[in-house]
Amino acid sequence: DTGVSQNPRHKITKRGQNVTFRCDPISEHNRLYWYRQTLGQGPEFLTYFQNEAQLEKSRLLSDRFSAERPKGSFSTLEIQRTEQGDSAMYLCASSITGGALFYQGQYFGPGTRLTVT
Amino acid sequence: KQEVTQIPAALSVPEGENLVLNCSFTDSAIYNLQWFRQDPGKGLTSLLLIQSSQREQTSGRLNASLDKSSGRSTLYIAASQPGDSATYLCAVDSGYALNFGKGTSLLVTP
């Protein structure tokens, strides 16, 4: 168990460019979540997948944000036409399902810090 | 919409003190509550998970309690150490998304 990994750890981009972040969950976890955290705030939920199905995406911040999990393993989060307000830490988490007996909570990766200049 | 509040926002204590961090939430229909630790610029480390049917959980010097009916949880840290300095986040799971408070920033001085 190597934990949740995210790449890159830091990304600096110019306004208007597209960026893509990758998340690799804990191998036996079937749920994968994306959150955004700005300075001084708690993480804010964006979207989640169960296996390859995206079950909730209404809280993605705008239509410039999209996420995929094509084979039910790793996931990508893409932001198109970045704006300075997109600067934040993007966090990925994973968990298992199966009821209270098996659920152990969400495990978070180290995050990708995005700076839009 | 679930609102989560953490009090105090910041706390500074000398090493060795016992301390309590508070978390309150507005909707008692929760699945579980999770406490996390976050070091500056880092991801979140899970400390304790309390299922909705449980009243408390313990791990080492940490003890978390849950009172669903009053919408409150507390994290008790015994015999605090400088290495405990971090931001502590409370998160309420109402189905799939975690709803977080803004955290309590803890500084333990030697």
pLDDT (mean) for A87-98 = 93
User: For residue A24, is pLDDT > 60?
Assistant: yes
Contact A105 B46 (CB under 8 A): yes
- DSSP codes of every residue in chain B: ---EEEE-SEEEEETT--EEEEEEES----SEEEEEEE-TTS-EEEEEEEETT-SEEEETTEEEEEETTTTEEEEEE-S--GGG-EEEEEEEESSSSEEE---EEEEEE-
pLDDT (mean) for A36-52 = 95
Residue in chain A nearest B88 by alpha carbon: A42
Contact B44 A100 (CB under 8 A): no
Give the closest of B89, B93, B96 to A42, CB-based. Answer: B89
Q: How far apart are CA A33 and CA B105, in angstroms?
A: 25
- State whether residue B103 sits within 8 Å of chain A by CB: yes
Residue in chain A nearest B91 by alpha carbon: A42
Residues of B in contact with A45 (CB under 8 A): 97-99
What does the pLDDT read at residue B49? 96
CA of B80, closest CA in chain A: separation in Å? 23
Q: How far apart are CA B101 and CA B6, in angstroms?
A: 6
pLDDT tens-digit map of B33-88: 999 999 998 999 999 999 999 999 999 999 999 999 999 999 999 999 999 999 99
User: For residue B95, is pLDDT > 90?
Assistant: no
Average per-residue pLDDT in chain A? Answer: 94
Restricting to A residues 31-50, those with a Cβ less than 8 Å away from any Cβ of B are: 31, 33, 35, 40-45, 48
What does the pLDDT read at residue A100? 66
Interface test with A, best of B96, B99, B102 (most A CBs within 10 A): B96
CA of B16, closest CA in chain A: separation in Å? 27
What does the pLDDT read at residue A103? 84
Contact A105 B34 (CB under 8 A): yes
